[in-house]
Amino acid sequence: MNSAVDNSTAEIVRRLGVAVTRRFGGAARVEDVEVATLGGSNRTLLFNLVEGAATRRLVFRQETYRLGHSPFIAPSAQFRLLKIAYASEIPVPEPVFEFEPADQLGRGYVVAYVPGETLPRRLITDPRFSTARARFAEQAGALVGRLHRIEPAQAAFLAETPDSLDPIAAQLARLDYYGEAHPAVELAVRWLRMQPRPTARRCLLHGDFRNGNLMMGEEGIRALLDWECAHLGDPMEEFGWLCLRSWRFGELDKPVGGLCERAPFYAAYTAASGIEIDPDAVRWWEIFGFVRWIVLNIMQVHGHSTGVRRSPAFAACGRNTCLIEYDLLMTLLGHYQ
């Protein structure tokens, strides 16, 4: 965290203070603001909401830009999903309030702060998280199972998003928008179109369920974060994404995010959801997941190259694209599992 607050952020904090008093009364105030880093398309601030003797640590999340063909759902949809998930006892940060036009804060919301660790390498290797790792298969499987049991009609507002309507077409539309030619993506899409398309039930999917988006403590999972890729789809899509080689960080014998093997995770999922795993469908969605991950990296470097949001990390995404393409091809060849 960077505790320095620049001038533009100071104005945001002032407006946040007004927004807080509108909701919690004139005595409520904002204190101890920290600027969180590494947000690609959002400004994220941590702050204390002080009401008399009570203090709550909260997170301010504001959309800072929106590219054409964005793969991310609007903040208002994210906030609605957080409320649905919270009411369904999915571990998510408690949604506190959404910005309104009178707040002059643009699009975004405030949620409760959940302390913990999200960095995958620490979660995978640090001895402090050995208990969390031992519990991960059961906890994560049950969590996704409960998520997929949510009645999709509750999230009907996601039904018309590109990723809900036609996931392959959504990726190709984005790739064309970025204007890059990637034969590996086209080859994989051709492979996907030639295979029987999984046609299972439709569920509410988190869409980015993986290490990095799970707030973990030493005891295990505390919260599922970052709902900006949520959509409706085949539940097996969630596992194709989660089991991508890209999230294993060298722990190749632990395909579930480098944290556990598939069997115990799937068993916990089926026990919680009543949905059986279809390995062929998971494989189809894993190939699709590589395509999606490649396109997301191209998006990041597109934002950098066009000057919308420049950073070394986004520049590096462009040169990471071929590493994902290589993993994709080696998986198609059967060399990688």
Q: What is the DSSP string of 14-74?
A: HHHHHHHHHHH-TT-EEEEEEE----SSEEEEEEEEEETTEEEEEEEEEE----TT-SSPP
How many residues contact another protein, by CB under 8 A?
31
Q: List the interface residues with another protein, window 35-64 (CB under 8 A).
A: 37-38
Compare residues 220 and 255 and give the one whose CB is closer to another protein: 255
The answer to whether residue 319 forms part of the interface with another protein (CB under 8 A) is yes
Alpha helices in the chain (DSSP H): 7-24, 75-87, 120-125, 130-149, 162-165, 167-178, 183-194, 235-242, 262-273, 279-305, 312-332
**Cβ at position 46, least distance to another protein in Å:** 13
Is residue 189 within 8 Å of 166, Cβ to Cβ?
no
Is residue 188 within 8 Å of 325, Cβ to Cβ?
no
Structure tokens at 135: 């519990």
The answer to whether residue 296 forms part of the interface with another protein (CB under 8 A) is no
The answer to whether residue 258 forms part of the interface with another protein (CB under 8 A) is no
The residue range among 22-30, 146-154, 199-207, 316-324 that interacts with another protein, by the rule CB under 8 A, is 316-324
The answer to whether residue 320 forms part of the interface with another protein (CB under 8 A) is yes
* Angle between the N-to-C axes of helices 312-332 and 279-305, in degrees from 0 to 180, rounded to the nearest 10: 150
- Residue keyed to tokens 């830009």: 65
Structure tokens at 282: 């998971």
Letter string b/e over residues 227-264, b meaning 16 or more CB atoms within 10 A of that residue's CB: bbbbbbbbbbbbbbbbbbbbbbbebeebbbbbbbebee
The residue range among 71-79, 127-135, 145-153, 314-322 that interacts with another protein, by the rule CB under 8 A, is 314-322
Is residue 70 within 8 Å of 64, Cβ to Cβ?
no
**Cβ at position 314, least distance to another protein in Å:** 9
Compare residues 176 and 280 and give the one whose CB is closer to another protein: 176
> Which of 10, 274, 323, 337 is the binder for another protein (CB under 8 A)?
323
> Which of 26, 68, 115, 183 is the binder for another protein (CB under 8 A)?
183
Q: List the interface residues with another protein, window 192-231 (CB under 8 A).
A: 194
Compare residues 217 and 318 and give the one whose CB is closer to another protein: 318
The residue range among 17-25, 220-228, 282-290, 328-336 that interacts with another protein, by the rule CB under 8 A, is 328-336
Compare residues 1 and 134 and give the one whose CB is closer to another protein: 1
Binding site for another protein (CB under 8 A): 1-2, 37-38, 172, 181-187, 189-190, 194, 311-313, 315-316, 319-320, 322-323, 325-326, 329-330, 332-333, 335
